[in-house]
Amino acid sequence: MAKYLAKRIFYLILTLFIVITVTFFLMKLLPGTPLTNQAKLSKSQIALIYEQYGLNKPVWQQYLLYLAGAVKGDFGTSFQFSDQPVSYLISSRIGPSLQIGLQAMVVGVVIGIIVGAFGAMKQNTWVDSTTTVVSILGISIPSFVLAVLLQYYLGLKAGWFPIAEWGGFIYTVLPTLALGAQPLAESARFVRTEMVDVLSSDYIELAKAKGLSKTGVIFHHALRNSLIPLITIVGPLAVNIMTGSMVVENIFSIPGIGEQFVKSVLTNDYPTIMGLTIVYSFMLCVVLLFTDILYGIVDPRIRITGKAN
């Protein structure tokens, strides 16, 4: 296990390096400069600022300098908020994003499993059709549309939840729902399909022949086996939530990193773009590593360690 983890961490660092490299050069291809909107600055002032931030050097030198800094843990200072190190900017804003992201993931997947399992158990009944419609809606409605609908109906009309801003659990409900709809729909669809398959398999027949009740069969045998393929989509779902959060955080004015990411791209805030890219790719890598380990826990056939026969 330790050997496996070491290998995976090495791959994680390699992945981050590639992501940094690709993003750095792509970012330099973006139109405009950090000072595009600063028309009042004179040419010499601009040159001075370029000098100060090292933007006058060739791109490959900038890249190497950035790498050298990153290795030492120095991710530069934000262009937009002068004197704010990127690391501080991110660490002060990551909390709300993590909270909403995790809440959306957990709520979405857990409810998705329940909905999917019900659909499979009541296959070809109105329960099944309803769950199918719900999952199709959840998959096809973009989170930002849902966010606005939730704001209007549950926030403005019903008045149950605050429409926007940040300040406690109640403020997280609507963004969580908006972000969680897609994981919910995807996992419901996956669990339903898989469970229909599992329920017609031989070992379920054997479980019934043992005298297990319907619920006993579901909880002791069907559920665990149906969840295995769900783990595969946890990674993509995490990506979904991360990208969704960029827009949803803007809609709900949540002071998170998603909102910050969008702003930094719009203003060509190079260090912030780079810093956030690293954070996002790191989170994704961790999610993927986590799912691979989870696989082994749920499915003994692909356990990483264990007695070889």
Partner 1 sequence: MDNDKNILEVRDLQVNFKTYAGDVKAIRNVSFDLRKGETLAIVGESGSGKSVTTRTIMGLNANNADIASGTIKYKGEDLLKKSEADMEKIRGQDIAEIFQDPMTSLDPTMKIGRQIAEPLIIHKGMKKEKALAQALEMMKLVGITDAENRINDYPHQFSGGMRQRIVIAIALINYPEILIADEPTTALDVTIQAQILNLMKELQDKISTSIIFITHDLGVVAGMADRVAVMYAGKIVEYGTVDEIFYNPKHPYTWGLLSSMPTLDTGGDELPSIPGTPPDLLDPPKGDAFAARNAYALKIDTEKEPPFFKVSDTHYAATWLLHPDAPKVTPPEQIVERQKKYAAMHKELLAQQRTQGPVEEEEEKQ
Interface residues with partner 1 (CB under 8 A)? 201-203, 205-213, 216, 220-221, 224-225, 228, 298-301, 309
Closer to partner 1 by CB, 146 or 198: give it. Answer: 198
Tokens of 29: 């291809």
Tokens of 204: 């379920």
Q: In the bound complex, what is the minimum distance in angstroms from residue 199's beta carbon to partner 1? A: 11
Q: In the bound complex, what is the minimum distance in angstroms from residue 5's beta carbon to partner 1? A: 23
CA-closest candidate to residue 215, choices 199, 200, 233: 199
Q: In the bound complex, what is the minimum distance in angstroms from residue 308's beta carbon to partner 1? A: 10
Q: In the bound complex, what is the minimum distance in angstroms from residue 208's beta carbon to partner 1? A: 6
Q: What is the Cα–Cα distance from 53 to 111, expressed in whole angstroms?
A: 49
Q: What is the Cα–Cα distance from 125 to 196, expressed in whole angstroms?
A: 13
**To 5 degrees, how large is the angle CA 67–CA 73–CA 77?**
80
Closer to partner 1 by CB, 74 or 197: give it. Answer: 197
Q: In the bound complex, what is the minimum distance in angstroms from residue 290's beta carbon to partner 1? A: 19
Tokens of 307: 């007695």
Q: Are 109 and 181 in contact, with CB atoms under 8 Å apart? A: no
Q: Are 237 and 108 in contact, with CB atoms under 8 Å apart? A: yes
Q: In the bound complex, what is the minimum distance in angstroms from residue 229's beta carbon to partner 1? A: 13
Q: In the bound complex, what is the minimum distance in angstroms from residue 183's beta carbon to partner 1? A: 23
Tell me whether residue 93 is exposed, middle or buried, using C-beta atoms within 10 angstroms of its C-beta: 0 to 12, 13 to 18, 19 or more: buried
Closer to partner 1 by CB, 191 or 242: give it. Answer: 191
Closer to partner 1 by CB, 298 or 304: give it. Answer: 298
Closer to partner 1 by CB, 176 or 225: give it. Answer: 225
Closer to partner 1 by CB, 3 or 301: give it. Answer: 301
Residue type, 144: F
Closer to partner 1 by CB, 204 or 285: give it. Answer: 204
DSSP state letters, 82-122: TT-BHHHHHHHHHHHHHHHHHHHHHHHHHHHHHHHHHHHHT
Q: In the bound complex, what is the minimum distance in angstroms from residue 299's beta carbon to partner 1? A: 6
Q: Are 287 and 235 in contact, with CB atoms under 8 Å apart? A: yes
- Say which residue the tokens 């099944």 belong to: 128
**Residue 228 — φ and ψ, nearest 5°?**
-55, -50
Closer to partner 1 by CB, 116 or 180: give it. Answer: 116
